[in-house]
Structure 1
C-alpha cells in the first residue's frame, strides 16, 4: 500500500513536498513532469482523469448555493476546498493520473473526502454546503415563540414604538405572569434580527424605509460643464457674531449652486435670513458672473474661473424655487427648470454630498454647534467669527481646498475637470447691471404712475423720466431690494428706470427695519401710515442706538484699560543708626 504524506502545511506553494513511496517530490516538479514521475513509480491508480473542457462552469449557469453560518472553522474549510479545486485543475491540465487522490493528499484531506468534493464539483453541487440540518428552525416552545413574536411586532408598531431593551422587559413581564420560563436577551435579539429590516422600519417610516434601503443612487449627472446644475439651501450649524459689538447673533444660511458633471461650485449667497427668493436670485447672480470681484473683496488669493448660465437648473420643491422670479429668469436667460421629485432628496445627490463635506469642515471650527455637547448654548460661548469672516473662511476652503483636492468619483480635482472638459457655446451672456436688477424680487401687483410718483411700501419714489407716464392706466412691474429701500426699479419696455426717494432726506434702511419701525409706532399710539413720522422715528432711534453703543464700548475700554492701583511701597529696611535710636529711647508702658 502506497502512502502519501504531507511534510508541509496545507498552504500550496511551489516548495511544498509530497512523499510518494519513500521519495520526496516537490509540487512544481509533479506539475512539470508529473506523468513521467507517476508512471515511474507505478502510478497511484488507473482512474481516467476528466479534462476541464468537459465541465460546464460558465458563470451564466445557475447554481443553487445554501448560505452558511460564518465561523472561522467553516471559513478555513472553504479555503481548503478552493485549494483542492485549484490544485486539481492544475494537475488535470498536465494530464496527471488520479489527480483527485494526489490533490487531496497535497492539501491534507482523506481520499474519501477528496472524492466527495470532486463528485460535488463534477455534478455542479455547491461547494459551500456547510450548514446544520435544523438551521433557522426554532427549538423554543410554541407558546414562548408566539409571545415573543407578538412583542416584537408591537415594538415596531407605529402607535407604540419600543426600544429593544424595553421590549425585552415587556416580554419578561408577560412570561413571568403566565408562569413560563424566561429567555435570554441574546435569544430575543436574534429573533429581532431575523425580522427583515424593511418589516421593522416600514410601520414608522412608511415609504421612506424602502427608499432608504435601496442602493445609493448616483443621481443624474450632466454631460458636461453647465449642463445640469443643482441648487439648494443649507443652514450652517455655527453661531456667528455681530459686526459692531461681536455679540452672538445666530446661525447663517447658505444658498449654493453646484455643477454635477465637474462638482465645482458656481455661485453662492450667505446671510442670516432664512431661505427666500432674494437669496435664490443673488446666488444665481453669483453663478452667472465671474468671481474676480468676490475674491478681491474677501482678500483671497486663488483662481475661481467657474461661471456661466446653465442649460438645466435642478431645485427642490420649496416655495422660493416656485416663485415668479425664478420662472422669469429661466425664460429670459434661456435655462430650463427640472425640479427634483417631492420627497426624493437623492435626486439632488451631488449637492447633498457637498453639503456633507462642508458640514464636516465647519464642525472643526470654533462656535460649531455639532462639536459641542451643549449645542447652541456652548456654541454661543465659543463663537469667534462674524458673517464676513465665515464667508471668507468658506470661500477660501472652496477655492483653495475643495476645488484643488482629488475627487474620489472624478479621479481628478474639480477645477481640473472643469477646465479640461469641453465647454458648450454660451447660451446667453448676461449684462451685469441688468442681471443685478433681474434677480431682485418684484411686487406681486404692479404700480401706476401718479403725479407724485410711484408708491411702494407707502413710500413715494420719483424720477423725472416718469413724467410721460403720468396718467396712464397701465400698471408697471416694480423691482425692489429688501436690503435697501432707497431705490426701486420700474420696468418700461425693455429697460429699467431707477426711482429714488422723493424726499432725499429719508434714511437708508431695509424692509425689515421699516416694518419694525412701523410696528413700534403703532404700539406707541402713533399713525404708522405717516411716512415722514416713520422715517423720523427711525432716524432718532438709530441715533440713540449709536450713542448708547458708543457709550457702552467706551465704558468697556475704560474698565479693561484702566491701570490697576499700585500697592504701597514697602518700608525701607532700618539702618544701624535707627536701631541704636530705638534702643536708646525710653520704654513706654500702655495705660491701664
Structure 2
C-alpha cells in the first residue's frame, strides 16, 4: 500500500523528480523543493507520489499461521504506538515478550511504512540478519540522551542530539551508532510525547486531550467514524431506457468529530459486508478522482485511515472479511451496545437530512403513504443510479459540508480543517497519510471467492472467465487436493473478476471468456437469474445473456412510445416534440438503432413535427 506522509522534511516524487516538502500551506496544498535543482513548487497533494513505494501485502494471500503471527506482533506494539516516547515501556515490553528492543523498533517501522498489520507477518527469527546490533551500552546512551537532550523544553535539534551521543560514545571508547539509527529512534517517538516534553503539557492538551462536548471520545478528525445504511425514499430509473427500476441503498460514513461525510456507497444491493467494505474503502481514499469522474469541482479533503468505526449490530457488520480487513488496517471495529439508542445518533440525524432533501426530488416515494398521497413515484422517476450519486456528491460537498452545523457551531469543513491544521486553541492532528493505490485498497475490502482453474478458465455464478495468466494453473493440484485460487469482483461490473496470482502476489483482470457479452452489474444479473429460475428453465451462461438481449430489445422497442416531450429552439422558433408514431416496422427499427441516452441527445436530434 503506497502512502504519502504529509509533513515537512518528507521526501516525495513530483513529475518524477525527488523533492522535499518544505511547507504545508493548507489541507490540500504544500510547497516542495526539488533536491537536485532547489526549484520551489506549490502543488496539490494529489500531484505527488510516494518516495518509498511499498509492495502491497494482500491479507487473503497470507497463510493463517502468518496472519496469527502478524496479529500477535501487533498486540505487542499496539500499546507503544501512542506512547513511543516512553522508553521504559518499550524496554519492559521487550523483556515481557522475550524480544529485543531493536526488534520492537523494527516492527514499529514495518507497521509505519504500510499501516497494515499484515506487514508484520514476516519470517521467524534468523539469528540477527538484518537486525540492529547495538550493544547494551549503546542502547542506554541513546535512550538517556533522547530524554535529557531532545525530549525537554530546550528543544534541541536532532543534529545536536546526534553530536551529544557521538561525544558520549567517544568518552566511553565505544562505537557510536549510525546517525540514521538515531534519527529512526526519534521518528518512532509519538507526537504527543514530543509536544508534551518539548512544548509543555498545555500544548499537548490542546491536541491530545478529549474535547468536551456531546461525544467526548471523538478527539480529532478520523478518531471515530460512524457507518450506517438506509433504503432511500426514491425510485430510480434504468440507465438504458430510463424506465422505473427500484429504490437504492445508501451506505454513509460520518466523522463524528467534525460531522464531515468521509465516504458513501450507493447501489441496488441490500446491505452487506461488500457495501460496507466499499464505503470504508471510499472513506480511506482521496476523493479527487471520484469527483472528476462526475465532473464536480469541489473541495472534499477527507482521506486517511480512521482509528475506530462504530456500527450497529446488524449481521452485515459482523462478517469475518470486514473484521479482518479492519484489523489489517489497524482499525478498531466497535458495535453498538445493547439498549443505547443515542449511540448512533450522529449518523441517524445525517440520514434524516438526506431523506428530507431527497423528498424534493422527482421519483421520491416519501417516507409514508400519507405524505405520498396522489404522487406517482414511478411515473415521475427521473434519476439513474449514477445521476443520483452525482446529486449526492454535489449536495454533500457544496451544501452540507459548507453550511453551519448547529451541534458544532460552524460548518463541518471548517471544523475538520481546524482539527487537522489547528487554530489558536488547538494544534491540530496533522494531515493524514494519503493512500494512492485506489485499486488495491478497494480490493482489500472486497469479499473473495475460491475457485480451481480448469481448461475453460473459471466459473462464478454460471459465467465463464478466462485470461492467459490462468494457463499455468489449469488443473494445478497435488496428490491430496485440487488447488483453489482467490478471485474478487466489483458488484457494479461483473464483466471482470480479479485473480490473485500467487507467485507475484498481484491481482490480474480476468474478463468474460466470451468477449461479446455486455457488462452487467450484480443486481442486473440477479434479476435475470431470478426470472430464469421462475420460468423453470435450466440456468446457463447462454440463457443469461439471451435474456439480457431480450430485455434490451424490449426496452428499446418500448422507448419509442415514451420519448418525452422536449421543447427545442430552432430557427428562432419553438418546435414541440410529442410521442412518436411509426408508419412501418422498418422505420421503427431504423430509429431504435440510432436512439441515444437522453444525456447524449442534442437539440436537433430526432425532431419530428406534427
Deviations 1:200-231 (A, max 9, x none): xxxxxxxxxxxxxxxxx934541111111111
Matched residue SS, 2:335 = coil
| In structure 1, distance between residues paired with 2:563 and 2:431 | 59
Q: Aligned residue pairs: how many?
A: 344
Does residue 230 of the first structure (1) align with residue 231 of the second (2)?
A: no
Matches within 5 A, 1:574-585: none
Question: Does the CA-based 8 Å contact 1:489-1:496 persist in structure 2?
Answer: yes
Q: CA RMSD in A?
A: 3.1
Find 2:325's aligned residue among 325, 329, 332.
329
TM-score (norm. length: structure 1) = 0.52
Does residue 497 of the first structure (1) align with residue 508 of the second (2)?
A: yes
Structure 1 residue 376, shift from structure 2 partner: 7.4
| In structure 2, distance between residues paired with 1:448 and 1:500 | 16
Matches within 5 A, 1:401-550: 401-421=399-419, 422-424=428-430, 426=432, 429=435, 431-443=437-449, 446-470=450-474, 471-472=476-477, 473-493=482-502, 494-521=505-532, 526-528=537-539, 530-535=540-545, 537-538=546-547, 540-550=549-559
Question: Does the CA-based 8 Å contact 1:441-1:479 persist in structure 2?
Answer: yes
Structure 1 residue 395, shift from structure 2 partner: 2.2
Query: Structure 2 vs 1, CA of residues 343 and 377 (structure 1 numbering), >3 Å: closer, same or farther?
Result: farther
Matched residue SS, 1:237 = coil
Question: Does the CA-based 8 Å contact 1:372-1:379 persist in structure 2?
Answer: no
Structure 1 residue 483, shift from structure 2 partner: 3.1
| In structure 1, distance between residues paired with 2:537 and 2:248 | 35
Structure 1 residue 433, shift from structure 2 partner: 1.6
Question: Does the CA-based 8 Å contact 2:286-2:434 persist in structure 1?
Answer: no
Question: Does the CA-based 8 Å contact 1:372-1:378 persist in structure 2?
Answer: no
Matches within 5 A, 1:66-145: none
Structure 1 residue 254, shift from structure 2 partner: 1.4
Deviations 1:78-107 (A, max 9, x none): xxxxxxxxxxxxxxxxxxxxxxxxxxxxxx
Structure 1 residue 267, shift from structure 2 partner: 0.4
Does residue 270 of the first structure (1) align with residue 261 of the second (2)?
A: no
Question: Does the CA-based 8 Å contact 1:441-1:481 persist in structure 2?
Answer: no
Structure 1 residue 511, shift from structure 2 partner: 3.5
Structure 1 residue 257, shift from structure 2 partner: 0.5
Does residue 354 of the first structure (1) align with residue 354 of the second (2)?
A: no
Query: Structure 2 vs 1, CA of residues 308 and 561 (structure 1 numbering), >3 Å: closer, same or farther?
Result: same
Question: Does the CA-based 8 Å contact 1:219-1:349 persist in structure 2?
Answer: no
| In structure 1, distance between residues paired with 2:374 and 2:245 | 12
| In structure 1, distance between residues paired with 2:534 and 2:357 | 45
Question: Does the CA-based 8 Å contact 1:463-1:500 persist in structure 2?
Answer: yes
Larger Rg: 1
Matches within 5 A, 1:287-302: 287-302=283-298
| In structure 2, distance between residues paired with 1:248 and 1:417 | 40
Question: Does the CA-based 8 Å contact 1:518-1:534 persist in structure 2?
Answer: yes
TM-score (norm. length: structure 2) = 0.51
Structure 1 residue 253, shift from structure 2 partner: 2.0
Query: Structure 2 vs 1, CA of residues 315 and 376 (structure 1 numbering), >3 Å: closer, same or farther?
Result: farther
| In structure 1, distance between residues paired with 2:221 and 2:403 | 18
Query: Structure 2 vs 1, CA of residues 558 and 435 (structure 1 numbering), >3 Å: closer, same or farther?
Result: same
| In structure 2, distance between residues paired with 1:287 and 1:451 | 40
| In structure 1, distance between residues paired with 2:444 and 2:373 | 37
Runs (5+) with no aligned partner, structure 2: 1-212, 420-427, 565-577, 582-605
Does residue 373 of the first structure (1) align with residue 395 of the second (2)?
A: no
Structure 1 residue 428, shift from structure 2 partner: 7.7
Matched residue SS, 2:316 = helix
| In structure 2, distance between residues paired with 1:366 and 1:521 | 32
Higher relative contact order, structure no. (Cα contacts within 8 Å, ≥ 6 residues apart): 2
Structure 1 residue 314, shift from structure 2 partner: 1.0
| In structure 1, distance between residues paired with 2:467 and 2:487 | 14
Deviations 1:444-473 (A, max 9, x none): xx2222233222223332222223333223
| In structure 1, distance between residues paired with 2:416 and 2:386 | 28
| In structure 1, distance between residues paired with 2:528 and 2:246 | 22
Structure 1 residue 379, shift from structure 2 partner: 5.0
Residue 282 of structure 2: aligned partner: 286
Structure 1 residue 349, shift from structure 2 partner: 1.9
| In structure 2, distance between residues paired with 1:245 and 1:343 | 46
Residue 31 of structure 1: aligned partner: none
Matched residue SS, 1:549 = helix
Matched residue SS, 1:440 = coil
Structure 1 residue 268, shift from structure 2 partner: 0.5
